Amino acid sequence: DAGVTQSPTHLIKTRGQHVTLRCSPISGHKSVSWYQQVLGQGPQFIFQYYEKEERGRGNFPDRFSARQFPNYSSELNVNALLLGDSALYLCASSLATGLEKLFFGSGTQLSVL
Amino acid sequence: GEDVEQSLFLSVREGDSSVINCTYTDSSSTYLYWYKQEPGAGLQLLTYIFSNMDMKQDQRLTVLLNKKDKHLSLRIADTQTGDSAIYFCAESFNDYKLSFGAGTTVTVRA
């Protein structure tokens, strides 16, 4: 079975641009979460979606938004990119809303110049 | 509070045991986790422990939980070169998010 897949794997943008990152959860998983990992730090929670509804949001500005589609895949959008948005963006999926088994993808490395 | 703290580096000789320590802050956390991250990769769930347990063993991995001191440890027996990675401790928070520590970089030397 395929794991959590994310695209693209790498992305370079310039300040002020907009970016869309995509995630496909493990088959059968209905919950998707997004995390930001800045170099040298642990991942920071951005969003969790379950059955297309936002269940939780981390301490990120409104420039960050996400949605979940009927097939449970998800997009993370970031507007007006800043240099500080450069990070590895990780998507994770789980069967339902519980956190006992959260499976992560390999991430999208975003560089903002 | 959501602070999870870990020591940053650990160097261990191949074949020895590694012990990685972590302290967390939220006494209401339901689960506590250990994740492994290899270079250029995402996070791999190694093991997790329910908060009403003191210990969990899974092959070479042993997790110890001291709820009174809010202390979690991961012991890796017979450490191998493939165990070189960054290890993250995490606690569940509000039932929808994980709060991670900064990670412990484990280097296994021959």
Q: Calculate the average pLDDT of chain B.
A: 91
For residues B2-8, average pLDDT: 86
Q: How far is CA B80 from CA A36, B68, B71, B107, in A?
A: 29, 32, 25, 10
The SS3 assignment for A65 reads strand
Structure tokens at A33: 């979460």
Least confident of A53-57, A81-85, A94-98: A94-98
Euclidean distance between CA atoms B103 and B27, whole angstroms: 20
Of B88, B94, B95, nearest to A42 by CB-CB distance is B88
Query: How many whole angstroms separate alpha carbon A71 and alpha carbon A12?
Result: 28
- The residue that leads in pLDDT, B92 or A30, is A30
Q: If you ran DSSP here, which 8-state letter would residue A9 be given? A: S
What does the pLDDT average to over A46-69? Answer: 94
Q: What average pLDDT score do residues A30-55 get?
A: 94
Segment A63-86 shows an average pLDDT of: 97
Residues 12-71 of A with CB under 8 A from B: 33, 35, 40-45, 48, 55-56, 58
Average pLDDT on B43-54 reads 91
Quickly state the pLDDT bin for A98 (edges 50, 70, 90). low
Residue A43: which of B41, B95, B100 has the nearest Cβ? B100
Segment B23-47 mean pLDDT: 88
**Residue contact B97–A43, C-beta within 8 A:** no
pLDDT computed for residue B28 by the predictor: 78
Report how far residue A96's alpha carbon sits from residue A51's, in angstroms, rounded to the nearest whole number.
Answer: 9
Average pLDDT, stretch A18-24?
98
Is residue B75 within 8 A of residue B69, CB to CB? The reply is no
- What distance separates the 2 farthest-apart alpha carbons in chain A? 38
Task: Give yes or no for residue B1 having a pLDDT over 60.
Answer: no
CA distance A56 to A34: 10
pLDDT at A88 over 80: yes
**Average confidence (pLDDT) over A63-76:** 97
Beta bridge partners of A65: A77
What does the pLDDT read at residue B102? 95
Average pLDDT over all residues of chain A: 94
pLDDT band at B83 (very low <50, low <70, confident <90, very high): very high
Q: Which residue in A has a C-alpha nearest to residue B4's C-alpha?
A: A42
Q: Does A84 touch chain B (CB under 8 A)?
A: no
Task: Report the alpha-carbon distance of residue A91 to residue A5 in Å, rounded.
Answer: 8
Q: Kindly state the percentage of chain B with pLDDT values over 70.
A: 98
- Measure Cα distances from A77 to A20, A92, B106 in Å: 5, 16, 34
From A68, A61, A30, select the one nearest A46 (Cα to Cα): A61
> In Å, how far are A71, A88, A112, B4 from A75, measured between CA atoms?
12, 15, 19, 28
Q: Residues near A98 by Cβ (< 8 Å), separated by ≥ 6?
A: B95
Question: How many of the other CB atoms lie within 10 Å of CB of B18?
Answer: 21
- Could you identify the residue written with the tokens 């990769």? B41
pLDDT at A1: 60
